[in-house]
Amino acid sequence: MWCDLHAIAQQVSYPWCILGDFNVVLYKEDKIEGNEVQDSDVREVAAFVEQGDLQEMRSAGGYYS
């Protein structure tokens, strides 16, 4: 999926937004319950965000809506 999104990003020359629930966390602190997140768990998405010069839009308010 990250490769596909990166390919799309290469074709876009204007600001764009990626929205969705990708079932990954970018930061360990974002994990609420379950198994602890390891650095290797976020490495792929972190690389995608960095390579794509993306910025995370942090949520505000409750975790579930």
pLDDT digits (tens, 9 = 90+) for 7-65: 988 898 888 888 877 778 888 777 777 788 888 778 888 888 888 888 888 777 776 65
Tokens encoding 48: 């995608």
In a domain, 42, yes or no: yes
How many separate domains does the chain show?
A: 1
Q: Are 5 and 18 in contact (CB under 8 A)?
A: yes
Domain assignment of residue 35, given as a range: 2-51
Q: Is 21 within a domain?
A: yes
Residue 65 lies in a domain: no
Number of Cβ atoms within 10 Å of the Cβ of 48:
20
Taking only the tens place, the pLDDT of each residue in 2-13 is 889 889 888 988
Q: What is the rounded CA–CA span in Å between residue 5 and residue 47?
A: 12
Determine, yes or no, domain membership for 56.
no
